[in-house]
Amino acid sequence: MKFIKSYLIPRLIVYFLVIFVGITMVFFIPRLLPTDPVQQFIARFTTQGVYMDPKSVDQMIKTLKQLYGLEGTLWEQYVSFLKRFVRADFGPSYYQFPTPVKLLIAQSLPWTLGLMLVTTLLAWIIGNIVGGFAGYFSNKRWVKVVDFIAMIIRPMPYYILALTLLIIFGYIFPIFPIRSAFATGMSFKFSWYSIVSILKHSFLPAMSLLLIGMFVWFQAMKLVVQTVKSEDYVKYAKLAGVPERKIVFKYVIRNAMLPQTTGLALSLGQIFSGALITEMTFSYPGVGTLLYNAVFTGDYNLLMGITSMSIIVITTSVLVIDLIYPLLDPRVRYR
């Protein structure tokens, strides 16, 4: 009972409050954009040579505003948005009318999950393992070599590394495809050819994410391990004759993994918003590309759908980590 009253309920209150504030910002921020999706929709008709008399245009504008949830005052739109949000109904997309937002996200999300989830987990695992040993055995020669490589790649922007890989392995040595997520004209089937095609097309975007992410975790883990290594209890363990293997894994790396685990939870939540620059560079059909098109065309519904999903996943990840953190760190108790 004490756990529920003093620990769980306050965190649930904060959890729902953060979602409410985030969803409210999701509603208002797109409406500050200079683009008007309804007028853009009408403009597409006129540029295609379709004649519409003023009365028909007014009727279409009224219908589109009702369909897109833009009818009435700002407060009425906000209340309508909250009702649709509870039903996970974000309406149709503006620039891919009349396709529902849910369908567009469902089509793009598996590609982003496949790319981002694998690269995030691999970068976290490799970066923490190498960074943990590099932090503890900091005087080794191989640590200096890895440090040198990290100092070159880590500050590099994603798009620079992506373009570099694209030029080297797509043009100079045309080993991997340079765009899309599968071969042109291919319909996805669970076959060896489909799997190989998808892996080849995703290799370059995956490497651009993996390399930078891996060195980010490497440097963070190395710094944390060096800090933990200088703690008094580690020095006492060495003086007491505790085996070095036990000191490394049980006392140093285990404690250094606590902030890294929290960082992983946040990273897993952020993958649902996609890798915007990487997906654009390689024309990858993920949520990042979808988000860019939504911003560029002023697609309120699609923007709200993607960002709402990202907010919920990130806050849920933080809540789960917050609840299980006492199981990871014996120094923390439910108080």
Q: Output Rg (C-alpha) for the chain, integer angstroms.
A: 25
- Between 60 and 25, name the one with better pLDDT: 25
pLDDT value at position 44?
65
pLDDT tens by residue, 187-198: 556 666 666 767
Whether the per-residue pLDDT at 299 is higher than 80: the answer is no
Residue located via tokens 């004209």: 185
Which residue, 161, 154, 146, 133, is CA-closest to 256? Answer: 133
To the nearest whole percent, how much of the chain has pLDDT over 70?
75
Predicted confidence band of residue 25 (pLDDT cuts 50, 70, 90)? confident
pLDDT value at position 134?
84
List the alpha helices (DSSP H) in 137-271.
141-153, 158-167, 192-229, 232-239, 244-246, 254-270
Separation of alpha carbons 142 and 255, rounded Å: 24
Query: Hey, which of 106-110, 144-148, 298-302 has the most confident mean pLDDT?
Result: 144-148
Share the mean pLDDT of the chain.
76
Predicted confidence band of residue 179 (pLDDT cuts 50, 70, 90)? low
Please tell me the least confidently modeled range out of 158-162, 184-188, 277-281.
Answer: 184-188
- Between 321 and 147, name the one with better pLDDT: 147
Phi and psi dihedrals of 242, rounded to 5? -65, 135
Separation of alpha carbons 7 and 28, rounded Å: 32
Q: Residue 1, Cβ neighbours under 10 Å: how many? A: 5
Would you call 282 helix, strand, or coil by DSSP?
coil
Whether the per-residue pLDDT at 214 is higher than 80: the answer is yes
pLDDT value at position 286?
77
pLDDT value at position 216?
86
Whether the per-residue pLDDT at 274 is higher than 60: the answer is no
Separation of alpha carbons 102 and 271, rounded Å: 17
Predicted confidence band of residue 288 (pLDDT cuts 50, 70, 90)? confident
- Between 27 and 56, name the one with better pLDDT: 27
Whether the per-residue pLDDT at 199 is higher than 60: the answer is yes
pLDDT tens by residue, 8-20: 777 888 888 988 8
